[in-house]
Amino acid sequence: QSALTQPASVSGSPGQSITISCTGTSSDVGGYNYVSWYQHHPGKAPKLMIYEVSNRPSGVSNRFSGSKSGNTASLTISGLQAEDEADYYCSSYTSSSTLVFGGGTKLTVL
């Protein structure tokens, strides 16, 4: 299984919105509504932000939202804040009953 494709970096100014894409295949992203997104600040544990494409765990800000179209999933962060600056990873369940992560996207808040 190949890693899901994410842009290496995205950036935005405080208050703006950004979207991070995550492209896979019909054997993972496109085949299941089991796409998740994680926020990872270096040196800390990754944090689940979105599960099952668009669901937010309890305690996650509603500024974070997820969607999917075909083989591409997206994470949108609205009202960017300085503390949103981190690495973001998508993951998807696969047809082999395993999990695959994306290559990660570094978000810079300008």
Partner 1 sequence: QITLKESGPTLVKPTQTLTLTCTFSGFSLSTSGVGVGWIRQPPGKALEWLALIYWDDDKRYSPSLKSRLTITKDTSKNQVVLTMTNMDPVDTATYYCAHSGFDCSGGSCYESWGQGTLVTVSS
CA distances to 34, 35, 94 from 63, in Å = 20, 18, 28
CB of 102 to partner 1, least distance (A): 7
Say whether residue 48 binds partner 1 (CB under 8 A): yes
Q: Of residues 15, 96, 108, 110, which one binds partner 1 by CB under 8 A?
A: 96
Which among 12-20, 63-71, 72-80, 93-101 is the span making contact with partner 1, rule CB under 8 A?
A: 93-101
Question: Between 12 and 102, whose beta carbon lies closer to partner 1?
Answer: 102
- Supply φ then ψ for residue 31, to 5 degrees: -95, -15
Residues 71, 91: Cα–Cα separation, whole Å:
12
Question: Between 13 and 62, whose beta carbon lies closer to partner 1?
Answer: 62
The residue count for binding partner 1 (CB under 8 A) is: 28
Distance of CA 109 to the CA centre of its chain: 16
Cα dihedral sign for 84, 46, 60, 100? Answer: positive
Say whether residue 88 binds partner 1 (CB under 8 A): no
CA distances to 27, 43, 61, 109 from 4, in Å = 11, 23, 25, 24
Query: Which residues would be at the binding site for partner 1 (CB under 8 A)?
Result: 1, 3, 32, 34, 36, 38, 40, 44-48, 51-52, 55, 57, 89, 91, 93, 96-104
